[in-house]
A and B are shown apart, each in its own frame.
Chain A
């Protein structure tokens, strides 16, 4: 495994997202689904993107591939992939990126496959889209080999199967085969195991991990399941209400998660084998993405804000700042490194401005 605390410039990231903003212009108002997201992914690493439903993690991944349809629109930011800003490309030429260099797998494998074509043909199609001259028979051979690689039993005959003849786990394996067909440099896996049973989930996660090690393909793993994050990710970005609130190595997240939201999230999951009478909860609910508060988006639910009596939280948005090497947090409790002050004084109700 690569050294996790290395500075990002030590090993140039394969993907760097800066201040990405994707808004949805609806009748009710502008939904700021992704509102200034920054993160990076290094070669060969697994970045976990974790957050609850509606936090913008899926929209972020779709924005990277520019798969946002109306009423959604990418309104700002940069997405550097191998040094090139994908948002500057003509939209037509995104097909050279999609599938070829960045590919994606989704939560519902069965609805992501075309029901009227054999799975083998669908993989062949992937080859042919990107290399029109490829011989059909050769492509079919390669498709069968891929199915074999992703652990489909009896791949020669399963290549002739239609999607409805596959189980959910097999369908997800086929999706992974299609995604890996052109040996992309980056794989975006959007809740790849959420629709699957735990025993099948374990198989699929194993497969993704193997492929990551074998091909050195970087992975962005989007999930709401902290257990999956702990098992799979090298680094983690925690999203809340359209922003990254914390970015840190996976060990750092569970040992020393700094953002009050991260801490609340970790404490609220029941852990197998450790029985608690009451689970920790995060009071209140996620702010409306149409009508966002001026200050920190977590302020209204934040127990630390109450404990430390910070009033700045509701007035000004904290920045995502590096508080330790490789550990970034968006919280006023840790802001003083940048000259703003709201130093951590446990138990004291002091506030400065």
Chain B
């Protein structure tokens, strides 16, 4: 025994990595995910510093303040707009409000919509899915059949129907989007819970005498998180689009709120006469949705357990 003791491997000074660290490292090895993260970081900065970035109050009509006209074309000094005119990077809208300021402030609303609706949907969906998956039996049946009913409607029509009941407005649109998204998360969580429930580490915790809530909240749900994060990130992109579409139809954010969808909806008749009023909000929506989609796809790859096995060759 003593002869072989000298062979014992010395403690290596390798630093320990949690799964989270490994996932993040894999995430940022992907160019697409890096691009998504950079765009998203940029958008968050814009949202935080909107008051500093935007030269005007987004809801203020400049008609009585400056010598301007409605739907005035962009005036950019660098591009040769006379210095004596006030600069309006994206022109003025139909109420003579500074479009650039409105687009900048729109970031706040859109990110808020994305995070709050999906946050709500995740909380509700996780709770429902976890209870259904863990309890099983008739509880599972009642919850999941209700979710199936919700999923049976085309989601946008369902959102419109919910708003019809609740009344129009941004807040109600948020609820509608959250409700429409909940079943997806409930299904996802239930499926994860069902598979994680059968894992041996859960049985080990049961053998230690843990209670059901302990097992559910400490063992099962944390391990059900990765697919939820992926779905959530992609879901935010969808939610922003849905909110914009609802606002475009006049069901979501109302005037004078600086919401990209509302802006598009109001100026949609001017696509040919004042394309800058439609282009910039549209571009902002695309840009934001793209960021979340890139990041979501990257997360999916980074969290795929099959990829993490690559390093352990047979």
Are A and B interaction partners? Answer: yes
Contact stretch, chosen from A7-15, A25-33, A79-87: A25-33
Q: How far is the CA of A33 from the CA of B313 in the complex (A)?
A: 7
Q: How far is the CA of A27 from the CA of B310 in the complex (A)?
A: 8
B313 A24 Cβ-Cβ under 8 A? yes
Write the nearest CB–CB distance from B158 to chain A, whole angstroms.
37
Q: Contact check: which of B3, B5, B6, B26 meets A27 at CB < 8 Å?
A: B26
B7 A303 Cβ-Cβ under 8 A? yes
Q: Name B3-57 residues within 8 Å CB distance of A.
A: 3-9, 26, 29
Q: Which residue of A lies closest to B4 (CB)?
A: A283
Q: Name A112-126 residues within 8 Å CB distance of B.
A: none
B9 A300 Cβ-Cβ under 8 A? yes
B313 A26 Cβ-Cβ under 8 A? yes
B314 A58 Cβ-Cβ under 8 A? yes
A28 B311 Cβ-Cβ under 8 A? yes
Q: Mark B295-311, 1 if CB is under 8 A from A, else 0.
A: 00000000000000011
A284 B313 Cβ-Cβ under 8 A? no
Indicate if A290 sits at the interface (CB-CB under 8 A): yes
Write the nearest CB–CB distance from A26 to chain B, whole angstroms.
5
A283 B7 Cβ-Cβ under 8 A? yes
Q: Contact check: which of A27, A53, A306 meets B29 at CB < 8 Å?
A: A27
Indicate if A54 sits at the interface (CB-CB under 8 A): yes
Indicate if A148 sits at the interface (CB-CB under 8 A): no
Q: Write out the residue numbers on chain A whose beta carbons fall within 8 Å of the beta carbon of B26.
A: 27
B3 A284 Cβ-Cβ under 8 A? no
Q: How far is the CA of A29 from the CA of B8 in the complex (A)?
A: 26
Q: Name A32-73 residues within 8 Å CB distance of B.
A: 33, 53-54, 56, 58-59, 71-72
Q: Which residue of B lies closest to A57 (CB)?
A: B314
B7 A59 Cβ-Cβ under 8 A? no
Q: How far is the CA of A72 from the CA of B311 in the complex (A)?
A: 11
Indicate if A4 sits at the interface (CB-CB under 8 A): no
A303 B4 Cβ-Cβ under 8 A? yes
- Size of the chain B interface, CB-CB below 8 angstroms: 14
Write the nearest CB–CB distance from B147 to chain A, whole angstroms.
30
Q: Contact check: which of A24, A28, A301 meets B7 at CB < 8 Å?
A: A301
Q: Write out the residue numbers on chain B whose beta carbons fall within 8 Å of the beta carbon of A281.
A: 4
Q: Name A283-304 residues within 8 Å CB distance of B.
A: 283-285, 289-290, 300-303
Write the nearest CB–CB distance from B45 to chain A, whole angstroms.
30
Decide if the interface of chain B is mainly helix, strand, loop or mixed. Answer: loop
Q: How far is the CA of A132 from the CA of B313 in the complex (A)?
A: 37
B8 A59 Cβ-Cβ under 8 A? no
Indicate if A210 sits at the interface (CB-CB under 8 A): no
Q: Write out the residue numbers on chain B whose beta carbons fall within 8 Å of the beta carbon of A72.
A: 313
Q: Contact check: which of A26, A33, A301 meets B314 at CB < 8 Å?
A: A33
A31 B6 Cβ-Cβ under 8 A? no
A306 B9 Cβ-Cβ under 8 A? no
Indicate if A336 sits at the interface (CB-CB under 8 A): no
Write the nearest CB–CB distance from B31 to chain A, whole angstroms.
13
Q: How far is the CA of A245 from the CA of B127 in the complex (A)?
A: 56
Write the nearest CB–CB distance from A112 to chain B, whole angstroms.
16
Q: Write out the residue numbers on chain B whose beta carbons fall within 8 Å of the beta carbon of A307.
A: 3
Write the nearest CB–CB distance from A305 to chain B, whole angstroms.
8
Write the nearest CB–CB distance from B240 to chain A, whole angstroms.
32
Q: Contact check: which of B8, B9, B29, B311 meets A31 at CB < 8 Å?
A: B311
Which A residues form the contact surface with B (CB < 8 A)? 24, 26-29, 31, 33, 53-54, 56, 58-59, 71-72, 281, 283-285, 289-290, 300-303, 306-307
Apart from A284-B8, A284-B9: 17 A-B pairs, beta carbons within 8 A? A26-B310, A27-B310, A28-B311, A31-B311, A33-B313, A33-B314, A54-B312, A59-B313, A71-B310, A72-B313, A283-B7, A284-B7, A300-B7, A302-B7, A303-B3, A306-B6, A306-B7
30 contacts between A and B (CB under 8 A): A24-B313, A26-B311, A27-B310, A28-B311, A29-B311, A31-B313, A33-B313, A33-B314, A53-B314, A54-B312, A54-B313, A54-B314, A56-B314, A58-B314, A71-B310, A281-B4, A283-B4, A283-B7, A284-B7, A284-B8, A284-B9, A289-B313, A301-B7, A302-B7, A303-B3, A303-B7, A306-B4, A306-B6, A306-B7, A307-B3
